Amino acid sequence: MQTVTTRTEAAANKSQTGVVYRTVCQNPGCGHSFDLRITPQTASMLSGTVACPRCHRHGGMLKSQGRIGDKLFAAKLVYRLTGVAPRADEEDAYSETPELRY
């Protein structure tokens, strides 16, 4: 007996290709968990920045946390700190410290 694959079944099977990154947004106050499917056409997302679908913060980088299952990986959506800089008096304290000789 031969099975016949319909066009919609073929499209559904084709959409299941690639790997899934189960991602958690690390934006403070968000913590949204979502699945991100990476296919050969969307592989550039792994090296670029991603926006969280819930809080819409741009500039997140995917940091892989390891394999969960077959074609399923864990990842964190990590953002750079913004608005954090050393105080002027902290910079001066370090500039006046003499070098340690070994």
Write out 4-53 in H/E/C secondary structure: CCCHHHHHHHHHCCCEEEEEEECCCCCCCEEEEEECHHHHHHHCCCECCC
Residue 55 has pLDDT above 90, yes or no: yes
Q: Rounded distance, CA 67 to CA 77, Å?
A: 16
Residue 63 has pLDDT above 50, yes or no: yes
The segment with the largest mean pLDDT, out of 10-14, 73-77, 97-101, is: 73-77
Residue 20 pLDDT class (50, 70, 90 cuts):
very high
Residue 22 has pLDDT above 90, yes or no: yes
- DSSP three-state, residue 102: coil
